[in-house]
Structure 1
Amino acid sequence: MTAPVRTRSSEDLIRAEEPVLAHNYHPLPVVVSRAEGVWVEDVEGRRYLDLLAGYSALNFGHRHPALIAAAHEQLDRLTLTSRAFHNDRLAEFAERLAGLVGLDMVLPMNTGAEAVESGIKVARKWAYDVKGVPADRATIVVAAENFHGRTTTIVGFSTDETARAGFGPFAPGFRIVPYNDLAALEAAVDETTAAVLIEPIQGEAGVIIPDEGYLTGVRELTRRTGCLFVADEIQSGLGRTGRTLAVDHESVVPDVLLLGKALGGGIVPVSAVVANRDVLGVLGPGEHGSTFGGNPLAAAVGTAVVDLLETGEFQRRAAELGAVLRDGLTGLVGKGVVGFRSRGLWAGVDVDPALGTGREVSARLMGEGVLVKDTHGSTIRLAPPLTITEDELLNALATLERVLARSV
């Protein structure tokens, strides 16, 4: 990276945000001004290794050359038409994305929350038009400790009181069961159930990985009871876990797949609902839409993302380096780490609460040039770009070990 353009100091910029930005985030006190690959720089020119990757939006690193080139090329031609007209990039994007995940059709949207909301609408419409559920009686079963977004519908079926408090009344029609509990799930499904909506791995909850066979059980149950399996792979999908999708670890194909984050390459927000024709085909003109969904710039970048994933390189890297990450974290258990869960290049690390909260540990790591983000309690999440090298990953683990040792 070239030297950053000097601007106001980090302290000045953070102070300037206070009166003009809603306080709906509590960021670490670092002000990023440039980035490339797995590295970011703040306005003073200090470099940090990014082990968060935009909550998996930056699976391919910051400013991946192929993705930047696709965006530049499209910016010079066409950026937006709305869906009032066709554009020359959308068909290829939909065809390639559907082919990548083995399904038929794509409903393009922008953000992850929009994909979830759209998936809910599709599931309900399918329940009424195909399954024959009486009007306005469709239910959707979800898992406790879920994170699917921040809209009022979605936080209404969250079990996180910080996300819920002050935003009711909430939409009815959702049943919450414990995650990783097939018996509880089966007890909640009945003739009104349109879908079971789950994350194959719960990211915000701390990278919670279900027991082997859970996803297979969800697939079998939904088929047997005649409802849809909707898999939210917005964080877990597109290479993060060492496979294209997290459900691939059990060779499970859901009825509806929700994608986002990495689909936009860290350049533009791109999300999608992907399903077979007998499900997505329930939507007719005027029943759902988005001005920016499927815009040519998003389609061009999304197609370039599919190009990268079709090589299999990033899935292989996540699997191989995921073993390095797992081994490194195993060596830290008893040295400030009380437990962890990992799959591919994604881990939730439980730090001994006596050493500090997750936020305090994240701040100490920031001081050592490594950026992570805390979640509940003393848990931190590690999700580096899939382009990280083994040496960079080992250095990050050594930094974590050093920070924990100093905290004793």
Structure 2
Amino acid sequence: MSVVEVPAGSPFGRENLPYGVFSVAGGDPRVGVRLGDTVVDLSVLLGATGDDAVFAAASLNPFLAQGPARWAQVRERVTALVGGDLPDAALHPVRDVALHLPFEVADYVDFYASEHHASNLGRLFRPDAEPLMPNWKHLPVGYHGRAGTVVVSGTDVVRPCGQRKAPDEAAPTYGPSRRLDIEAELGFVVGVGSPLGGRIGVDEFDQHVFGAVLVNDWSARDIQAWEYVPLGPHLGKSFATSVSPWVVPLAALQAARVPLPGQDPPPLEYLRGSEDWGLDVDLVVEWNGEQVARPPYKEMYWSPAQMLAHLTVNGASARTGDLFASGTISGPERHQRGAFIELTWGGREPVTVKGEERTFLLDGDEVTISATASGPDGTRIGFGEVTGRITPAR
């Protein structure tokens, strides 16, 4: 038996306890929580029989499907147990484990919830028109992504190919993307779904959503710009979306909840709720190891509760393992922009990375997005990292 020592200031203390799926030395994947620099194997700590058999699974989905009362019960048990002696067989240093995609992605929807990001892209793509489209402040705009290309942090991203047409070209050409970009986002994982034809209300958010992950929605801006009118993103987005391996439960984010910045005009009734689900989460974007941006999630116009309500208002079902993401997180200042197309203003204002002027991603580049949120009593809640490296087109 051993006591896990949590380093002072660690964002993975008992107030966090994010869930992930891990394996050791080629063994079977199973569910664990992170405590400091240790992964605690829940299939050993809690056993793997009865309701607890879900912790021997290779994804979080069976546990997610058990619902909010069960999530709360397990969190209470684990929080109490990790404060004392733990069986050595349950403990593994983070450096010694392989981390897997933590949940099976059922569906993936990406929103466009930052007014700063949407306004910046409007100015770039439509310089002679209003930055925001007429519908933007009335509903959370989004697109349906590709669940099968959601990958865990550390997975290489192959440069996508497709049609692209620069403004000075008479016709489109086919080839590798020349304007490959990132989008720093927060994603939300559905635990309990809803029936086809049903709806999830704004104030039912925490009865359906289990937790949050970091998301990098890789974007081929040249492919996107040529294809997105009139039906929106397709090949410019669907080639890869990276997520962090740790799912931070909503229960760990209660101290991070803040009011939304303000919505004018007031949204329609189905998008109104009595609970605030703005979140004080600070992201950091590193390009080849150099910090280039610090996007603030608390600046987001639409809340995740409103996103889920809008996603299901037409009767579309939600399912265990659904992932919906915020869209690029950006603030009012240049250093708060969560996409390189904004940060470099369409490539016209390069940033310096490792002494070189850069605009979009080159082969071999690596991007890491990390984040922490406000926790209880001045602590910080860590999300870990989502990292991806660009490899040449095939």
- State the TM-score, normalizing by the size of structure 2: 0.23
Which structure is higher in strand share? 2
Which structure is higher in helix share? 1
- State the TM-score, normalizing by the size of structure 1: 0.22
